[in-house]
Amino acid sequence: MARSAYMTELVRSVRGSLGRFLAIMCIVALGCGFYAGLRMCGPDMRAAADRWYDGSALWDLRVVSTKGLSDAQVERLSKVKGVSQVMASRTADVVCKLGSDQVAVRVTSVDADAARKSKATSAYAVSSSKGSYLNRARLVSGRWPKAAGECVVSADATRKIKVGSTVEVVSASEDVSTILSTTMLKVVGTVSSPDYPYTGSFGSTRLGSGTIGQYVFVTASTFASDYPYTDAYLTVGSARAAVSGSSAYESAVDKVKDRVEKIEGSLAADRLAELKSQAQSRLDAQVAAAQAAAAQAASAGASTDLSAAQQQLAAAQEQVDSMAAPDVYTLDRSQSEGATTYEADTERLDRIATVFPAMFFLVAALVALTTMTRIVDDDRQRIGTHKALGYGKGRIAAMYLGYALLASGLGAVLGICVLTQVLPRIVMDAYSVIYVVPTLEFPLPVDVGTALAAGGLGVGVTLASTLVAVAASLAEVPAALLRPRAPKAGKRILLERVRPLWRRLSFSWKVTFRNLFRYKRRLLMTLAGIAGCSALLLVGFGLHDSIWDIIDRQFGPIVRYNATVTLADGAAQADVDSAIACLRSKGDATGIVRVHTDTMLARGTGSSSAATDKTRVSVVVPQTASKLASAVTLRDRTSGAAIAFGQDSVVVTEKLASLYGIRAGDTIVLYRQDDVGNATGKGVRLKVDAVAENYVGNYVYVGRRAWRRAMGATPSFSTVYARVTGGSKAESRTSDALHDIAGVSTVSFTRQTISTYRHTLSVVDMVVVVLIVSAGALAFIVLYNLTNINVSERVREIASLRVLGFTRREVHAYVYREIAIIALLGDALGMLLGSWLERFVITTAEVDYVMFGREIHPLSFAFAFALAMAFTVAILLLMRPRLDRVDMVESLKSVD
């Protein structure tokens, strides 16, 4: 019986205060949902990638040899314990001509037969009867290549290539004919490969701009007949169950990696022996031929050339004998640019997820506290009656805790169910602009631990607030509870001391000010709610600013050149001169600067891991120091002051400096890198003279003399920066003309880079929308609740005012002025909170090679402030009927 009476009461009280119940429910839903939803973004994205990697049999380990591999070594690798499958393939980076640009392209051989027979069972899985067919790309359009000279290209590249067109290979790091059997590749289809999830860059290369812009798959026959395997891809069966990138995955792979690394030396020796014996047999054949020729010559009586030929052969023999062993490396997915970029992005989301929801929980606590206080106050008599009837404190408190539990529990379930589906989906969709990882389908997985943590926090915060609210009333004796609570006494406020000012105020203003300080909890709740709302809005607009500033400030103000022409190492001076002449004549180019560029690895001087982790940097050495300024603006970001650059100068860009905490006067260490991007040598130490503003990439600008001192050599200055005028037409005209000049290796324009960035950064606009929507929801709940409480608490007062002859408008002003003032204050506070939060998000979300803009534009402050106020006004207008409905007869009723 007691139980049913309890339930009846509970249901009645919910029905009797539906508005308040909904307010608690919604704010808890928002808090828990945001927490769980944001928390699930990272795991969901990792799960999506893992599903794709597993479904397409992506490699776990990759063995690379600088002098290739043969079937014998591949066979040995397959015998390593833990290795499930091995697939050998040939890969080469070449430069292709795509339109007016020359683009670095990665050409990889594919098992054409297995590829043709494979079948895409879904967007994320490709099945094949051949287990050793790895890295299975999904055919998007066209067909797989059958014959030499046919290729499939990436369907995901920002620079699309049409099926049916022909791609011309123009150069490579060595003679193209030693790599490929043909230089014309006919495009027969497009594919999406799990090895290239990130469309911003398909990897780095030593060619051209340093970034792979396209990947193509060809038949093995498209490679030159004696071009050996370059890579062996391995899968580790025991790692399959774990999510790629997780510690379980890494430990499973590392075990096998250790075993593979142990045989690296012997693989290299094997390979060397093979190469030597091949070379030896070739040489032997030559010797035999030479001897035969000599014998013939001798019989003819001419023996003069013999010693020269012998010398040549002896030199060749020496070469064979002194042949060095190849370098063999074992790489895992953490050394694959696409996979790591993706994983880093998901981890960034994890970090952001820890901060944002805190604000919602804080507001939820305040909303619950004010609302429950109000409910308990309304119920004084009932509490008194219960107490008088002999109910214990626990039983009465349970009533309110039950109410709070019901409201917050429903809210938590609702919020978690909805937002763990919606938020990760929006985030994944946003990221699909730059990643081609097939997104998960509904229903998205919900991690039980995360859901429980979110729900527990939301419900816990509400229950704690309720206990605080109930405790005070329960402490009173029943008799006191049965009397109406003495109205909260009016109090003088500090402002009244300022007599002249106070006297000038009208009553509604006086009441407004006194009320502001009378209800502190409500003040706090509203302040926090509105501040949260305007902060979210500011973060949204600020993010937009920071990110679009990258492009707006980098290209034009800082990077003043728009064309980069690289010449082959050791290009003749005449070629450089004709390239420059061509830039001038065809592209009306100005600001022509000859530089040496190099990709190196940099680190700081400390011993902490933050200082020793190396970062890839572009080193730029201008031929003439004074001319650098016409290609690149070196300036201090905060003061805008130009940085002087001379023969001995070393200037690093800001993001790089902040990564290692480098300031003017500190030292940076630069390393050369080997084929797979590992640092070699002891590195050179350079003293940094200044830190320059820069947003995209990490640069070290080194004066010519400083470079020679450090590296002991004068560079070749084989790169030319120039500013071509006349738009894209002039650019393609110039590019065509440049390609006809001997020695010109690549020509690229920033136009392409800019459009890639614009594409990539459109992700942010989606996030801005999400933030604005949630800000609106937050403002709505808080203001609805506040107005509701305000009105119900002051029904008598409002009714009396109406009886006294106050017009509707005057009553609105009387009640709303107070809310409007808090809203203004909260809005202003939100600007502070928002700038801080935006800074946090920016620094968390930044990647190592990009620095986001650091300032929020004044217009964004104005927008965020105005929008938060607009939300407030809209909600107050919406709540007006609630005020108008107050019946004047309420004023006649007794106080109960």
CB nearer another protein, residue 67 or residue 514: 514
Is there binding between residue 221 and another protein (CB under 8 A)? no
Angle at CA 81, nearest 5°, toward 78 and 85? 35
What end-to-end distance do the CA atoms of the chain give, in Å? 29
| CA nearest to 721, candidates 583, 557, 551, 554 | 583
The two structure tokens encoding residue 800: 């009396």
CB nearer another protein, residue 101 or residue 818: 818
Is there binding between residue 615 and another protein (CB under 8 A)? no
Is there binding between residue 160 and another protein (CB under 8 A)? no
Is there binding between residue 480 and another protein (CB under 8 A)? no
The two structure tokens encoding residue 76: 């040995």
Per-position DSSP letters for 529-565, written without gaps between them: HHHHHHHHHHHHHHHHHHHHHHHHHHBTTTB---EEE
Is there binding between residue 892 and another protein (CB under 8 A)? yes
Please report the beta strands in 441-481, taking only residues with DSSP state E, as ranges in sequence order.
Answer: none
Is there binding between residue 514 and another protein (CB under 8 A)? yes
CB nearer another protein, residue 93 or residue 818: 818
Distance, in Å, from the CA atom of 254 to the CA atom of 238, rounded to the nearest integer, reads 11
Distance, in Å, from the CA atom of 398 to the CA atom of 858, rounded to the nearest integer, reads 51
CB nearer another protein, residue 378 or residue 654: 378
The two structure tokens encoding residue 262: 């142990």
For the beta sheet containing 61-69, the strands, ordered from the edge strand earlier in sequence to the opposite edge, are: 83-89, 229-236, 61-69, 328-332
Binding piece for another protein, criterion CB under 8 A, among 181-189, 297-305, 656-664, 884-892: 884-892
Distance, in Å, from the CA atom of 769 to the CA atom of 774, rounded to the nearest integer, reads 9
In the complex, what is the shortest distance from the CB of residue 827 to another protein, in angstroms, rounded to a whole number? 25
In the complex, what is the shortest distance from the CB of residue 502 to another protein, in angstroms, rounded to a whole number? 11
CB 339 within 8 A of CB 333: yes
CB nearer another protein, residue 781 or residue 886: 886
Distance, in Å, from the CA atom of 4 to the CA atom of 397, rounded to the nearest integer, reads 17
Q: Of 487, 556, 557, 606, which lies in the binding site for another protein, with binding defined by CB under 8 A?
A: 487
Is there binding between residue 803 and another protein (CB under 8 A)? yes
> How many other C-beta atoms are found inside a 10 Å radius of the C-beta of residue 327?
15
Is there binding between residue 494 and another protein (CB under 8 A)? no
Q: Of 443, 570, 727, 805, which lies in the binding site for another protein, with binding defined by CB under 8 A?
A: 805
Is there binding between residue 515 and another protein (CB under 8 A)? yes
Instruction: Classify the C-alpha dihedral 376-377-379-381 as positive or negative.
Output: positive
Is there binding between residue 888 and another protein (CB under 8 A)? yes
Distance, in Å, from the CA atom of 583 to the CA atom of 567, rounded to the nearest integer, reads 14
Is there binding between residue 804 and another protein (CB under 8 A)? yes
Distance, in Å, from the CA atom of 536 to the CA atom of 868, rounded to the nearest integer, reads 10
Phi-psi region of 835 (alpha: psi -120 to 50; beta: other; left: phi over 0): alpha
In the complex, what is the shortest distance from the CB of residue 490 to another protein, in angstroms, rounded to a whole number? 4
CB nearer another protein, residue 712 or residue 805: 805
Distance, in Å, from the CA atom of 169 to the CA atom of 224, rounded to the nearest integer, reads 14
Is there binding between residue 507 and another protein (CB under 8 A)? yes
Is there binding between residue 312 and another protein (CB under 8 A)? no
Is there binding between residue 806 and another protein (CB under 8 A)? yes
- Give me the phi and psi of 227, to 5 degrees please: -80, 120
Q: Of 4, 506, 573, 607, which lies in the binding site for another protein, with binding defined by CB under 8 A?
A: 506
Is there binding between residue 489 and another protein (CB under 8 A)? yes
CB nearer another protein, residue 518 or residue 616: 518
Distance, in Å, from the CA atom of 654 to the CA atom of 851, rounded to the nearest integer, reads 8
Strand partners, 601: 616, 671
Query: By three-state DSSP, how is residue 227 classified?
Result: coil
Q: Of 255, 393, 518, 672, which lies in the binding site for another protein, with binding defined by CB under 8 A?
A: 518
Is there binding between residue 808 and another protein (CB under 8 A)? yes
CB nearer another protein, residue 140 or residue 495: 495
Number of amino acids touching another protein (CB under 8 A) = 32
Binding piece for another protein, criterion CB under 8 A, among 82-90, 149-157, 593-601, 801-809: 801-809
Binding piece for another protein, criterion CB under 8 A, among 301-309, 331-339, 508-516, 715-723: 508-516
CB nearer another protein, residue 45 or residue 801: 801
The two structure tokens encoding residue 838: 């935006």
Is there binding between residue 800 and another protein (CB under 8 A)? yes
In the complex, what is the shortest distance from the CB of residue 378 to another protein, in angstroms, rounded to a whole number? 17
| CA nearest to 586, candidates 728, 737, 740, 742 | 737
Question: Longest C-alpha distance within the chain, in Å?
Answer: 140
Is there binding between residue 255 and another protein (CB under 8 A)? no
CB nearer another protein, residue 45 or residue 799: 799
Is there binding between residue 810 and another protein (CB under 8 A)? yes
CB nearer another protein, residue 448 or residue 486: 486
Please report which residue ranges of 56-163 form alpha helices under DSSP H: 71-78, 112-117
CB nearer another protein, residue 307 or residue 506: 506
CB nearer another protein, residue 510 or residue 584: 510
Distance, in Å, from the CA atom of 298 to the CA atom of 94, rounded to the nearest integer, reads 48
Q: Which residues bind another protein (CB under 8 A)?
A: 486-491, 506-507, 510-511, 514-515, 518, 796-797, 799-800, 802-808, 810, 888-889, 891-895
